[in-house]
Amino acid sequence: MTVTHTSTPREDGFRMPGEFEPQAAVWITWPERPDNWRDGAKPAQRAFVEVAKAIAEETPVFVGVSAAQFANARTRLPAHIRVVEISTNDSWVRDFGPSYVVDGKGQRRGVDWGFNAWGGLVDGLYFPWDLDDQVAQKICEFHGDDHYRAPIILEGGSIHVDGEGTLYVTEECLLHPSRNPSLSKSELEGVLKDYLNLEKIIWIPRGLYNDETNGHVDNLIHLAKPGEVILSWCEDPKDPQYEISREAFEVLSSATDAKGRQLKIHKLHVPGPLHMTAEEAAGIDPSDGMEREAGERLAGSYVNFLITNGRIVMPLLDPAWDDKAKQTLEGIFPDHKVVGVEAREILLGGGNIHCITQQVPAV
């Protein structure tokens, strides 16, 4: 029987490992919302299948699927990928799934954050979000893992940890009035340090341009290893991303991590600019919360990739930049195989490969 602990991971000697540490599994949840995924989500489902297959070559994959979509998903996915009936409101398991913590004794527990669809009634993208908010506990119970219910609203895509006491976040997201308006910055830092077992938090001002998550850090940077950051970059002074990337570079360049290291920063140029086409927009059902209009700038980024057990699964988004992005990642990760998956259909829904995956660490 699994237990919901009322203590904190820090009190119990647990820490959140980096994504580059060994993994036991990766979760994905199946897309089906017609007001977010075009053409009844069929193009997105094809993309999710390819991501799942690419991960499953190295790491066991579990796909959470609604009862209505179970037969469809089971038919589309290879037999070695487990399909598990889990109800969701949409398919961003990075954000509503558990952030796992581990101790040095071979134990693993999940942290279950409050989820409000990226802004609740202030500027959330859909209502209700109650099914999403139950997923973290369900995944923990599926694996037989105890968990903590954290006392704040937080999405997994809004945090990056190095596993050695450092957290990277954006002020734009974590200090947004739609998340935890009753907490000061220092109070929020206290909760994060308790639930992720941190010594230091590096605050980057803003996330990627036009990111509807209020600027998740995982669309702006990724961590190659402790002390080594990959930053979304832009060379066009007329692009709004240009200033955001330079601002982030200045903060990261002057920062040291929890171990006192100066950060090594790799620049990974963004694709595009990419925009939603009229045909793509026409295939999406109208919605109150999510803007899906022809010409809308898409928050495309190559840092929105997954690291899993000697493999990088990266999004292919723009023929003009895909090969350069892959070469850059191969240089940063010489011991990993870099695999690209066509991911525009995922981007049209508002995120990418990192956003639709959540790893379970190995213990």
What is the separation, in whole angstroms, between the first and last Cα of the chain?
A: 19
Catalytic site positions: 355
Residue appearing with tokens 């001002």: 205
The answer for residues whose C-beta is within 8 angstroms of residue 97's C-beta and 6 or more apart is 27, 29, 135, 136, 139, 156, 358
Q: 319: burial class by Cβ within 10 Å (0-12, 13-18, 19+)?
A: exposed
Closest Cα partner for 269 from 224, 230, 223, 309? 230
Beta strands 306-308 and 264-269, pairing class: unpaired
Inter-residue contact 167 to 204 (CB < 8 Å): no
Q: Which token pair is 96?
A: 């509503």
CA dist 186 and 199 (Å) reads 13
At 103, phi and psi to the nearest 5? -115, -175
